[in-house]
A = this chain, B = another copy of it.
Amino acid sequence: MSTFRDRTSVRTKHEGEIVNITSWAVDRIKASGIKQGIACVMVKHSTAAVALIEDEPGLRGDLNRALESMVPKEAPYAHNAAGGDGNGHSHIRSTMLGQSLTFTFDEGKPDFGTWQQLVLLELDNAGRERAVLIQLVGE
């Protein structure tokens, strides 16, 4: 059994941006030399998320529209009233979607299905520099 970790930095440009990090994760698992186990990908921020989705332009818009419908940007947030960055909705969306995501891998490759891609979601109201980690445990 062994562990492996790596990190990357993603510079987003705007709210609602969805960055496909699948090939980065695939590459890091391959580089680790670990064949089978569990991977955890984590974004070190409370206004971003990581998720699995079929990454096509239509769904990117659909996901953002669904988030706006469920957690509207312009609702009154105490976080904003307290002198925050006007990003109360971003925090709630991030907690709902999740700031970490765990998946399985075998033969040195993630067990993603054909339509599953790993993405980073920028949920804050402006682009940000985002630190992303991958941690493997397995053998």
Contact = CB atoms under 8 A, between A and B. Distances in A.
A54 B95 CA distance: 9
A104 B40 contact: yes
Interface residues of A, number: 63
A70 interface: yes
Given A62-B92, A96-B97, A46 B36 contact: no
Interface string A73-114: 001011111101000100110111111111111100001110
A111 B97 CA distance: 18
Contact of A138 (B3, B88, B98, B133): B3
A71 interface: yes
A104 B82 CA distance: 31
Interface of A: 1-3, 5, 36-38, 40, 42, 44-47, 51-54, 56-59, 61-63, 66, 69-71, 75, 77-82, 84, 88, 91-92, 94-106, 111-113, 115-116, 131, 133, 135, 137-139
Contacts of A113: 44-46, 131
Contacts of A92: 59, 62-63, 66
Contacts of A54: 46, 91
